[in-house]
Amino acid sequence: MKKSVRIASLIVSAFMVLTALAGCGKSDGGDSTAIKIGSIGPTTGGNAIYGQAVKNAAEIAVEEINALDSDIKFEFNFQDDESDAEKSVNAYNNLKDWGMQILMGTVTTTPCVAVSTESNADNIFTLTPSASSTDVIGGQPDADGNIAIPRKSNVFQMCFTDPNQGTASADYIKNQNLGTKIAVIYNNGDAYSTGIYQKFDAEAKTLGLDIVSVTTFPSEDTKDFTAQLNAAKNAGADLLFLPIYYTPASLILAQANSMKYEPKIFGVDGMDGILTVDNFDTSLAEGVMLLTPFSADAEDEKTQAFVTKYKEKYGDTPNQFAADAYDCIYALYEACKAKGITSDMSAEDICTALTEQFTDPSFVFNGLTGTDITWKDTGEVSKEPKGMVIKNGVYVGM
């Protein structure tokens, strides 16, 4: 018995020595002139469309930047997490072994809450393209004014926060006088959807908007929305607010249509992508309104160049996740240039410098998802959401 314990402990300690040595070997190698940017997101599984978009767009941005005549060069490493928090933390540890100096990620919210806590402890600068919950950045008081998660000072967002979208949507509906009786259907199994709904509800109450029906569904896999739509119809709602992703939204549109219920539909950035669903009958989405920072149909030169390049390379129209990721890499590039960051600096030093740069009010970034983008000390981005409406199968500004 004793002998076997001794042998086991020998094996374990030998293994530990080996891994320690392996770690040493790794940190010496690699391209010494490029700054290592790690990124994590789902490229397989149910949310693969988001991770794939981020990966593709970031690769385009890195390629463009490396072709520039500049001292700043990037090396990009993307890891799959299947939108699972545990796998995401494992991917994060892999990237740390690789020698990651900056983290651009993670793509989806729940994994990002876990990973940003790790990166905060390790002092690795983190800029997420699309994880929109306030739990990602921390430091936000809840309804009772308590701060459950302290501010993670190294974490910043490129996308709007969920509350931000809820408030903006209610303001927009009020200002444009879009509806008098409002029904909401949201996914109560999802932090993103619930977060937007709560702020929408609070703002609607202050503005005096009349919410006549609120119903929920438990998961992205939900197929039947007839009960929810019936409730909205019976309450006489003329505007349906859908703070949800486009997969359930497309089902809601189809079922409302077969029930011959035709309210105005108002969505948030999760609705973006509905027109790219294969074989989707775009006439169902006619007149759908949404707030989104990016539209692939925008006429400006920057957007058109990006969309053309993306289509050529990946045969697909980029969505707002792609645009946010592209902006992330360029924002990092500009911040690195401003602070004179070099690849031989430690991740901690880079983090201190970049945090200083992002919280500096004079740091203004112009990208695909907005102009005059700035960041607050809280980690939230400040940019204007654009109201879009779908007409003849394309987005048109409202």
- Least distance (Å) between residue 193 CB and another protein: 12
Binding mask 37-76 for another protein (x = CB under 8 A): -------xxxxxx--x------------------------
State which of residues 85, 212, 251, 345 lies at the interface with another protein (CB under 8 A).
251
State which of residues 281, 344, 356, 372 lies at the interface with another protein (CB under 8 A).
281
Sheet holding 74-80, edge to edge: 74-80, 35-41, 102-104, 125-128, 155-157
Binding mask 186-225 for another protein (x = CB under 8 A): --x--------------------------xxxxx-xxxx-
- Least distance (Å) between residue 222 CB and another protein: 8
Closest CB to another protein among residues 225, 294: 225
By the rule CB under 8 A, 226 interacts with another protein? yes
By the rule CB under 8 A, 317 interacts with another protein? no
By the rule CB under 8 A, 283 interacts with another protein? no
CA dihedral 350, 356, 361, 362 (to 10 degrees): -60
- Least distance (Å) between residue 43 CB and another protein: 9
State which of residues 4, 32, 177, 279 lies at the interface with another protein (CB under 8 A).
279
User: Which pair of structure tokens corresponds to residue 49?
Assistant: 């469309």
- Least distance (Å) between residue 262 CB and another protein: 11
State which of residues 39, 134, 228, 378 lies at the interface with another protein (CB under 8 A).
228
Cβ atoms of 291 and 385 closer than 8 Å: yes
CA 17, CA 12: separation in Å to the nearest integer? 9
- Least distance (Å) between residue 248 CB and another protein: 8
SS3 call for 7:
helix
Residues 5-44 that bind another protein (CB under 8 A): 44
By the rule CB under 8 A, 250 interacts with another protein? yes
Binding piece for another protein, criterion CB under 8 A, among 5-13, 169-177, 258-266, 293-301:
258-266
Cβ atoms of 226 and 259 closer than 8 Å: yes
Instruction: Enter the DSSP assignment of 147.
Output: B
Closest CB to another protein among residues 73, 87: 87
By the rule CB under 8 A, 352 interacts with another protein? no
DSSP 20-52: HHHHHHHHH-S-SSSEEEEEEE-SSSTTHHHHH
Closest CB to another protein among residues 77, 255: 255
- Least distance (Å) between residue 368 CB and another protein: 21
Cis peptide before 180 (omega within 30 of 0): no
* Side chain identity at residue 282, one-letter code: T
Q: Whose CA is closest to 16, among 8, 26, 5?
A: 8
Binding piece for another protein, criterion CB under 8 A, among 262-270, 271-279, 287-295, 342-350:
271-279
Q: Whose CA is closest to 143, among 152, 134, 155, 132?
A: 134
**CB contact burial 69-82 (16+ within 10 A = b; e otherwise):** eeebbbbbebbbbb
- Least distance (Å) between residue 377 CB and another protein: 36
- Least distance (Å) between residue 253 CB and another protein: 10
By the rule CB under 8 A, 277 interacts with another protein? yes
Closest CB to another protein among residues 235, 338: 235
* Residue 394, CA atoms < 13 Å, CB-side half-sphere: 7
- Least distance (Å) between residue 202 CB and another protein: 19
Q: How many chain residues interact with another protein (CB under 8 A)?
A: 37
The residue with tokens 């983190």 is 126
Cα maximum dimension of the chain? 80
**CB contact burial 151-172 (16+ within 10 A = b; e otherwise):** ebbbbbbbbbbbbbbbbbbbbb
CA 26, CA 11: separation in Å to the nearest integer? 23
Chain residues in the site for another protein (CB under 8 A): 44-49, 52, 188, 215-219, 221-224, 226-228, 230-231, 234, 247, 250-251, 254-255, 258-260, 276-281
